[in-house]
Chain A
Amino acid sequence: MRFFIRRGTFYIITAWAAVTLNFFLPRIMPGDPVSSAIIKSGGQISPDAINSLKVLFGLDNGQSLWEQYTSYWGQLFRGDLGLSFAFFPTPVSAVIQQSLPWTVGLVGIATILSVILGTTVGTLIGWRRGTKADAVLPVATFFSAVPYFWFGLIAILLFAVTWDFFPASKGYQPGLVPAWNWEFISSVLWHGTLPALTIVVSSISGWILGMRNMMVTVGQEDYVTVAQAKGLKERRVMVSYAARNAVLPQISSFALALGFIVGGTLVMEMVFSYPGIGFVLYQAVNASDYPLMQGCFLVITLAILVANMMADVVYAFLDPRTRQEG
């Protein structure tokens, strides 16, 4: 239980830090994004919305910093992240709400696939170290050294332009109405295949390398030697003795790598014009839409915290030591 309390406290502090960072960022930055946006909107913006933006960006000079901070929190709890400039006059929260499921679906499925595949391959390579299987290592190194988005470009060039296998962009066939029918779902799957495959290909090498190194390290522990000396089946030693212990650091590094992977997939969405939160962030950057950018950052950070918490639960489930403490 101590483990969970400790981690829970950490997540609360981190969430607070992220929100506070989000609060201070526009106040430190030079310039006045709100006035420029008001000018751009040509007077269509309501006084209420202006007020909400001013709270978000710290431009209501009458208030002290503390009052600004508390009213900022108040707005957050009401789910008010301001108005988006790029999708005027849609509220930021609505824009994000629309795009979040796409990202969660794509990143979630691709990441889980990549972890499972990478860990399995890493187990096998680490087990058969020194054989031809090691040839995977330089390839994996190359793949981990390339930015995700460049893979996206190459994938589009090969599989969408040169050979017309997959669509090059968008999340579903333009013209279809989102609904729970087979036509729409198949279109979503069809459009999601190439981005998902690219994410798997570019993120898998990290898992392979990590698992391989842990297998090599764990493989020389005494309990593995004993298991082998007992005459247990090869497979059983590999899976239940070596891999079972080697996989624990994989889970904690999963939690840590998540921020990096999500960053990479955000850019991937930009390449594929996939209607997720990364593409929204891209449009926000191009339109200098600061409320939307900040909303994206906040939501992405909170999503990563939730994923981290789930990884912790899995960790505690797999490693009895964390449960026994306290």
Chain B
Amino acid sequence: MTTVDTNNLEPQELPRPDAPGVSHTKQGPPKPKKGSQFVFLRNSKAIAGMIILGFFVIIAIIGPWIAPYDPDAFSDQLVAPPSWEHWLGTTHLGQDVLSQLLVGTRYVMIVGFAAGILATILAIVIGVTAGYLGGWSDEGLSLLANIFLVIPALPLLIIVASSLDGGMLVIAVVISLTAWAWGARVLRAQTMSHRRRDYVEAARANGESTWRIVLAEILPNLTAIIASSFVATVTFAILTQVTLAFIGVTSPTDWNWGTILYWAQGNQALARGAWWWFVPAGLCIAAVGVALALINFGIDEFVNPRLRSTGRYARVLRKRGVQARVGFTPIDRGTTHGGVVAKSQPGSPPGGNSSAPETPGETPASTNVKG
């Protein structure tokens, strides 16, 4: 069955010689033939994102060692602007802001990734189960996911976190409990579209157990979706924990980027014009967020080739003096056939846009009619 697996890995990515008429009239390049599963790593956005994220992961590991001062240590330079001694200035107690930032990175990363992993596991378990089993268990699990989507996470988290006053793992668990629903919803839709495909039917006919079908046949085909929902969850977790720390519901003595902002806000950093106190922490959050968003763009373009091709083709067309407009269908080079509209289409109505995930790849009949 392994051959079936690799063949079906991202079916929409495979080159399709029988794709719509225009495809092989003209230009031949770029060809995602062999090793198309590594296309993701060639995506420049994804690479840029990985590099930025990698930088912060390294800081998270070595931060406490390279920090020039103890983040809690007082000094007599109060609210001092950046200088050679203190690169990012000091706080109202003379603490070094750079050291706080470096030490705090670890907390942010651990909570972000721990919450991301936990929430993604929950999303996979609930989403794939609902999508594969269907029927009443699907109704029940979908209802649960929708309820969690509608209930506002932040106020709930504020209440829970303020009465637990726990450490970072408690925060991670609590965040993950409110963050799984979106991923579960997307995974459920994808699983449903895979459930009746030929390779699953074949596995079923072979007498494979449900466990094996789900784990070994369907899950590998959901890798991209799982990755994208993981990345989105990490973003959410980082934003949320920083917000919680800023409000002051987590322990204000554990350094993380939000704690820095908490002390800055509480000690008139704004009125004193002490920008060095709160601007760097925000920029770090933004940098991590942008890195994660770039990675997710990479995954999105990998999953939905229409997004990837548009910019490139439009640029090519413009060079030839053709104004690209929406109605101007770009030349399909064989990769954009039947793109999965994966994200950006959250709540498609019950009977509405459902056509999208059903088609990728497997409609030789219809393409033959066209050709």
> Chain A residues in contact with chain B, CB under 8 A?
3, 6, 10, 13-14, 17-18, 21, 25-26, 29-31, 33, 126-131, 134, 141-142, 144-147, 149-150, 153-154, 156-157, 160-162, 168, 209-210, 213-220, 224-225, 227-229, 234, 237-238, 242, 248-249, 252-253, 255-256, 259-260, 262-264, 266-267, 270-271, 281-282, 285-286, 288, 290, 293-294, 296-297, 300-301, 304-305, 308, 315, 319, 321-322, 325
Contact = CB atoms under 8 A, between A and B. Distances in A.
A3 to B, nearest CB: 7
Contact of A217 (B149, B162, B304): B304
Contacts of A325: 350-351
Interface stretch (B85-93, B205-213, B310-318): B310-318
B163 interface: yes
Contact of A263 (B152, B310, B314, B344): B152
Contacts of B83: none
B282 A145 contact: no
A252 B346 contact: yes
Contact of A266 (B146, B154, B344): B154
B184 interface: no
Contact of B285 (A150, A224, A237): A150
Chain B interface mostly helix, strand, loop or mixed? helix
Contact of A126 (B164, B273, B289, B326): B326
A249 B155 contact: no
A238 B81 CA distance: 52
B249 interface: yes
Contacts of A142: 286, 290
Contacts of A33: 163
A131 B345 contact: no
Interface stretch (B114-122, B189-197, B240-248): B240-248
Residue among A249, A255, A290 with most chain B CB within 10 A = A249
Contacts of B155: 263, 266, 281, 296-297, 300-301
Nearest to B291: A145
A130 B315 contact: yes
B151 interface: yes
Nearest to A215: B326
Contact of B290 (A128, A145, A266): A145
Contact of A234 (B146, B153, B325, B348): B325
A146 B282 contact: yes
B335 to A, nearest CB: 13
Contacts of A129: 310-311, 314, 324, 326
Contacts of B293: 141, 144-145
Contacts of A238: 326
A253 B310 contact: no
Contacts of B330: 220
A150 B162 contact: no
A270 B158 CA distance: 13
Contact of B286 (A146, A220, A249, A286): A146
Interface in B277-321: 278-279, 281-282, 285-286, 288-290, 292-294, 297, 300, 304, 306-307, 310-315, 317-318
Nearest to B324: A130
A158 to B, nearest CB: 10
Given A29-B163, A130-B313, 5 more contacts: A141-B290, A153-B261, A168-B270, A213-B344, A264-B154
B350 A262 contact: no
B328 interface: yes
B351 A321 contact: yes
Contacts of A18: 151
Contact of A297 (B156, B294, B324): B156
B253 interface: no
Contacts of B265: 153, 271
A304 B146 CA distance: 13
Contacts of B275: 157
Interface in B86-116: none
Residue among B248, B292, B306, B349 with most chain A CB within 10 A = B349
Contacts of A147: 239, 242-243, 246, 282, 285
